[in-house]
């Protein structure tokens, strides 16, 4: 290499090697992190899907019960509204 001292060339070469090693290590860590996140995400996704399925089942059961015996639910809703009105009304005094 004409015009450049040998130590400068060696320094540049060492710097490039260090950058290459850092890039390889970063790629490995990136892959590890992506794999861990993917595993965690799949667990969360499974839990959400399971919860969604269970919520659908509960909704269907409640819907069926309301259709079989609507007056119990109408009475429960009226009682809940009465209690809520009493609690909110007593706070104004």
Per-residue pLDDT, 91: 75
Q: Could you tell me if residue 1 is inside a domain?
A: no
* 43 φ/ψ angles, rounded to the nearest 5 degrees: -65, -45
Total domains present in the chain = 1
**65-90 CB burial, b ≥16 within 10 A, e <16:** eeeeeeeeeeeeeeeeeeeeeeeeee
For 37, the domain range is 6-92
Give pLDDT tens digits for 33-90: 888 888 778 888 888 888 888 999 999 999 999 999 999 999 999 999 999 999 998 8
Per-residue pLDDT, 2: 58
Q: Could you tell me if residue 81 is inside a domain?
A: yes
- Please say whether the beta carbons of 90 and 83 come within 8 A: no
Per-residue pLDDT, 60: 95
Quote the CA–CA distance of 86 and 78 in Å, as a whole number: 12
- Please say whether the beta carbons of 9 and 1 come within 8 A: yes
Per-residue pLDDT, 4: 62
Q: Could you tell me if residue 35 is inside a domain?
A: yes
Q: Could you tell me if residue 68 is inside a domain?
A: yes
Per-residue pLDDT, 33: 87
């Amino acid at each position: 290499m004409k015009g450049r001292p040998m130590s400068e060339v060696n320094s540049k070469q060492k710097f490039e090697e260090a950058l290459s090693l850092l890039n390889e290590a970063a790629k490995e860590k990136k892959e590890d992190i992506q794999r861990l996140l993917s595993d965690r995400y799949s667990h969360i996704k499974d839990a959400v899907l399971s919860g969604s399925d269970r919520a659908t089942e509960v909704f269907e059961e409640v819907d069926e019960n309301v259709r079989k015996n609507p007056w119990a639910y109408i009475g429960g809703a009226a009682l809940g509204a009465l209690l809520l009105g009493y609690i909110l009304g007593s706070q104004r005094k």
